């Protein structure tokens, strides 16, 4: 392969500014003030569960427009994409830069977390679990978190390549510090931004705001006024600071020369020899959660590369979801006895008629045992998970055999 290079432009990219802080610290107000700046053009305000957009329209000089959406992800992402298209039109026409306000990224991530939780509750095993105990704790498996992060990345990619100015808000607060095992450390707190864990990495300038002290620049990716991690302390802003001054004066954003970030989508290669049939066989035999996650990602990549159809990738992922439920149920039963007879029998079962026999034995053995008995619960969970997984794979094999006949 021939080496391809280019010289860096040295141009300041369009800024993606994060304003985060506690409640009533002035984040939304600062956004409204920016819309009054003579240096910006059309300002579009995406209100996500904050409800501040209408009220702040009364700020002196504010001239932003509120983006309308119905609260669903397709509506939200569609409106953000439309805002980017408008920013491109304005840039090409030589107009002042379009500003997009996203208020807030905390609500965006809350929406995606709720989506992951809702999907997890609809799995067969979790529905049975909730039928037994409506207040049961539901574990959200990795495939649902991967989907939520994928949607967040879709939004962030648009914001990071927006040909104009983006200001996103988020909530931040002190929370209990945790040790490596997730246990609270007594008397210790740490500050946390409420949003996707990668939010701070993706923005080009990060400002923290307070109700009772000046705002500070936590970090900035800038040649002119950068904040070097480990060397520079967060920089306090003047009491009368503004987003206009931060963006155009401190960060030296020049609309005539600014560019969008040069982002090339990173995609892992589809493993050599990857096929739908091989992926299904591997999914049925995956030995741990990491293997399941790897296979899930490979199937998604294969679908994007058109190595398989979207329906085939979805079939692999559904089987992986069932496999992860089985692995989780096996681990729960193994905690009490790694040599448990039910555990061994269900692990070795590979056909629906085998799980049916085990199910009949389970009904007989636990007929007089109360439903809230812990052992009955863990064995029942494994039986349900393994039955679903085996049935799903058997149906796939049957379809494959019928197609080949």
Instruction: Look up the domain containing 379 and give its range.
Output: 276-404
Number of domains in the chain: 2
What pLDDT is attached to residue 265? 60
Helix (H, G, I), strand (E, B) or coil at 239: coil
Same domain, 240 and 285: no
Q: Identify whether residues 244 and 305 lie together within a single domain.
A: no
28 and 128 fall within a common domain:
yes
Q: Are residues 188 and 60 in the same domain?
A: yes
DSSP 94-132: TPPPPEEEEE-HHHHHHHHHHHHHHHHHTSHHHHHHHHH
Q: What is the pLDDT of residue 152?
A: 94
Q: Is residue 258 part of a domain?
A: no
**Where is pLDDT greater, at 192 or 29?**
29
Residue 233 is predicted with a pLDDT of 74
Whether residue 5 is contained in a domain is answered as: no
Residue 304 lies in a domain: yes
Instruction: Flag the least confident range among 116-125, 302-311, 370-379.
Output: 302-311
Residue 38 domain flag: yes
Supply the CATH number for residue 73's domain: 3.40.50.300
**Residues 88, 215: one domain?**
yes
Query: 319 and 230 in one domain?
Result: no
For position 45, what pLDDT does the model report? Answer: 97
Classify residue 164: in a domain, yes or no: yes
Residue among 40, 46, 252 at smallest CA distance from 159: 46
Q: Is the pLDDT of residue 163 over 90?
A: yes
Q: Are residues 113 and 209 in the same domain?
A: yes
Q: Is residue 292 part of a domain?
A: yes
Condensed to tens digits (0 to 9), the pLDDT of residues 347-358 reads: 888 889 999 999
Q: SS in 3 state form for 342-379?
A: HHHHHHHCCCHHHHHHHHHHHHHHCCCCCCCCHHHHHH
Whether 269 maps to a domain, the answer reads no
The reply to whether the predicted model has a pTM over 0.85 is no
Please check whether residues 25 and 133 belong to one and the same domain.
yes
Q: What's the CA gap between 105 and 20, in Å, rounded?
A: 9
pLDDT at 183: 66
What's the confidence (pLDDT) of residue 2? Answer: 82
Cα–Cα separations (whole angstroms), residue 273 to 73, 170, 286: 35, 44, 18
Q: For the segment 219-272, what is each residue's pLDDT rounded down to a tens digit?
A: 888 777 666 666 667 788 898 999 999 999 988 898 988 888 877 665 556 677
Q: Is 317 part of any domain?
A: yes
| Residue 140's pLDDT band (cuts 50, 70, 90) | confident
Same domain, 283 and 225: no
- Is 177 or 397 the better-scoring residue by pLDDT? 397
403 Rama class: left (phi>0) / alpha (psi -120 to 50) / beta: alpha
Top pLDDT among 402 and 68 is at 68
Q: How many Cβ atoms sit within 10 Å of the Cβ of residue 308?
A: 22
Write down the pLDDT at residue 192.
85
Pairing of strands 99-103, 43-47: parallel
Quote the CA–CA distance of 80 and 99 in Å, as a whole number: 12
């Amino acid at each position: 392969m021939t080496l391809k290079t280019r010289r860096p432009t040295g141009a300041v990219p369009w800024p993606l500014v994060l304003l985060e802080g506690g409640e009533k610290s002035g984040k939304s107000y600062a956004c409204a003030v920016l819309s009054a700046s003579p240096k910006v053009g059309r300002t579009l305000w995406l209100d996500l569960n904050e409800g501040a957009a209408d009220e702040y329209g009364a700020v002196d000089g504010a001239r932003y427009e509120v983006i309308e959406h119905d609260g669903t992800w397709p509506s939200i992402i569609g409106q953000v994409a439309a805002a980017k298209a408008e920013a491109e039109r304005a840039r090409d026409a030589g107009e002042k830069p379009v500003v997009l306000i996203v208020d807030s990224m905390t609500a965006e991530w809350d929406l995606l977390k709720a989506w992951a939780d809702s999907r997890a509750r609809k799995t067969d095993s979790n529905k049975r679990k909730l039928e037994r105990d409506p207040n049961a704790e539901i574990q959200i498996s990795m495939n649902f978190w991967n989907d939520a992060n994928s949607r967040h990345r879709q939004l962030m990619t648009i914001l990071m390549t927006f040909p104009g100015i983006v200001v996103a808000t988020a909530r931040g607060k002190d929370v209990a510090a945790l040790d490596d095992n997730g246990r609270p450390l007594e008397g210790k707190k740490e500050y946390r931004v409420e949003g996707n864990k990668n939010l701070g990495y993706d923005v080009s300038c990060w400002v923290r705001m307070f109700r009772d002290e000046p705002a500070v620049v936590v970090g900035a990716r800038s040649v002119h006024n950068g904040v070097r991690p480990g060397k520079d302390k967060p920089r306090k802003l003047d009491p009368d600071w503004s987003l206009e001054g931060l963006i155009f004066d401190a960060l030296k954003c020049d609309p005539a020369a600014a560019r969008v970030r040069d982002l090339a989508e990173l995609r892992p290669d589809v493993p050599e020899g990857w096929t739908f049939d091989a992926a299904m066989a591997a999914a049925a035999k995956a030995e741990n959660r990491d293997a399941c996650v790897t296979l899930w990602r490979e199937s998604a990549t294969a679908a994007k590369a058109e190595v398989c159809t979207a329906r085939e990738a979805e079939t692999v992922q559904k089987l992986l979801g069932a496999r992860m439920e089985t692995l989780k149920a096996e681990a729960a039963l193994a905690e009490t006895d790694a040599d448990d007879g039910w555990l061994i029998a269900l692990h070795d079962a590979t056909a629906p008629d085998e799980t049916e026999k085990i199910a009949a034995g389970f009904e007989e053995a636990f007929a007089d045992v109360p439903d809230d008995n812990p052992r009955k619960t863990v064995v029942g969970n494994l039986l349900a998970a393994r039955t679903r997984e085996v049935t799903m794979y058997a149906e796939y094999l049957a379809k494959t055999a019928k197609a080949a006949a």
